[in-house]
Amino acid sequence: MQLYTLKSQVEISINKTISLKKTIGLVPTMGSLHHGHLSLIKKAVNSCDLVWVSIFVNPTQFNNKQDLNNYPKNIKKDLEMISKISKNINVFNPKISEMYESKLKTEDFDFQNLDKELEGKYRNNHFKGVGTIVSKLFNLFKPTKAFFGEKDYQQTRIIDRLIKVKNFQTELVICPTIRGTNGLALSSRNNLLSLENKEKSAIIYKTLIYCKKNLPKSSFQKIYNNCKKEINSLNDFELEYLEIVDNETLKKVKKISANKPFRIFICVLVNGVRLIDNILVK
């Protein structure tokens, strides 16, 4: 495994890879890796000639300074986990100044309002930050394929749009959500939870399953009220949103059609820690 911290180092390696006509797989992460990240890396290793993992906590996608400061970091452990998958994986772990140079500036994008739904309602300019850093990474690595998790499905829709807008020659590969034994979607933010709250967070996935099961026989408003009451009854838990949206546009579904897939999205604040999840309903 080779660790890089400078873009100039990466560019030399990437140009060599391209000259050899080898495929490049990119797994962008913010570190504090878990088995969900590792599943993406393994998929990339099985799909591409050369794999790069970026580890960079991107400040422009945080609208809350405390959230940024609290984001878990453990680069030593991250590198150990990556090296166990393959010794041939390259890792890019730059400083903020390397990615943003003189100042933290974001680009403007036409995301066709994908960035205004769900998380976009609560995290101002979050997806501008995501689009900006992913653009920088795609321009640097010129990946054949880029790997992202389905847990952050809204983000994958944003990146799919970004690829079209910027005309990146990159295939977006969306990999299934990896869950703990209690159904909680794996997330770096889970490290910020107490053991008790991590166990109680099983209610998030249970809520999605409950919604999916009961939608055909009950109104969503009634389902929503039941879910909100149960979640908010737990100490430290607060339901921020629970929505049924179109699988493509992410706009709220007013009338459910048996012929059109949709998704149920949820966000729960657990003692201030933001946990999101979603489930596809066909």
CATH number of the domain to which 45 belongs: 3.40.50.620
Using one digit for the tens of pLDDT, what is the confidence trace for 33-66? 999 999 999 999 999 999 999 999 999 999 888 8
Boundary residue ending a domain (175, 204, 237) = 175
32 shares its domain with 101: yes
Q: How far is CA 246 from CA 121, 135, 264, in A?
A: 16, 26, 9
DSSP string of 183-204?
SPBP-GGGGGS-HHHHHHTHHH
Reported as half-sphere exposure (CB side, CA atoms, 13 A), residue 241 has a value of 16
106 shares its domain with 158: yes
Determine whether 34 is an active site residue.
Answer: no
202 shares its domain with 251: yes
Q: Is residue 140 part of a domain?
A: yes
| 244: three-class secondary structure by DSSP | strand
| CA dihedral sign, ordered 38, 138, 109, 132 | positive
141 shares its domain with 221: no
Q: How far is CA 63 from CA 93, 128, 277, in A?
A: 22, 11, 20
Q: Is residue 183 part of a domain?
A: no
54 shares its domain with 157: yes
23 shares its domain with 85: yes
Report the C-alpha gap between 155 and 177 in whole angstroms.
13
Structure-token pair, residue 153: 């499905």
Using one digit for the tens of pLDDT, what is the confidence trace for 88-118? 999 999 999 999 988 899 999 999 999 999 9
Using one digit for the tens of pLDDT, what is the confidence trace for 58-67? 999 998 888 9
Q: For position 82, what pLDDT does the model report?
A: 98
Report the C-alpha gap between 53 and 91 in whole angstroms.
5
139 shares its domain with 83: yes
Boundary residue ending a domain (175, 205, 220) = 175
Length of the chain, please? 282
Q: For position 282, what pLDDT does the model report?
A: 83
What is the residue-averaged pLDDT of the chain?
96
88 shares its domain with 163: yes
Q: Is residue 182 part of a domain?
A: no
Q: For position 98, what pLDDT does the model report?
A: 97
Is residue 160 within 8 A of residue 2, CB to CB? The reply is no
Identify which of 173, 172, 174, 197 has the alpha carbon closest to the alpha carbon of residue 184.
197
Say whether pLDDT at 258 is over 80.
no
Boundary residue ending a domain (129, 149, 175) = 175
198 shares its domain with 153: no
Q: Is residue 46 part of a domain?
A: yes
105 shares its domain with 207: no
Number of domains in the chain: 2
Q: Is residue 181 part of a domain?
A: no
Structure-token pair, residue 109: 């994008």
Catalytic residue among 34, 35, 37, 126: 37
% of the chain at pLDDT higher than 70: 100
Structure-token pair, residue 128: 């501008």
Averaged pLDDT, 250-257? 86
Report the C-alpha gap between 282 and 280 in whole angstroms.
6
Identify which of 23, 98, 88 has the alpha carbon closest to the alpha carbon of residue 58.
98
| CA dihedral sign, ordered 119, 97, 17, 52 | negative
Q: Is residue 40 part of a domain?
A: yes
Q: For position 102, what pLDDT does the model report?
A: 80
Using one digit for the tens of pLDDT, what is the confidence trace for 185-239? 999 999 999 999 999 999 999 999 999 999 988 999 999 999 999 999 999 999 9
Averaged pLDDT, 70-90? 96
State pTM to two decimals.
Answer: 0.96
205: domain CATH number is 3.30.1300.10
Identify which of 14, 12, 135, 29 has the alpha carbon closest to the alpha carbon of residue 79.
29
Say whether pLDDT at 257 is over 80.
no
Helix (H) or strand (E) holding 149: strand 145-149
Containing structural domain, residue 10 = 2-175
Which range has the worst mean pLDDT, 62-76, 181-195, 227-241, 253-267?
253-267
211 shares its domain with 153: no
28 shares its domain with 165: yes
Q: For position 122, what pLDDT does the model report?
A: 95
Q: Which pairing describes strands 237-246 and 90-92: parallel, antiparallel, or unpaired? A: unpaired
Q: Is residue 150 part of a domain?
A: yes
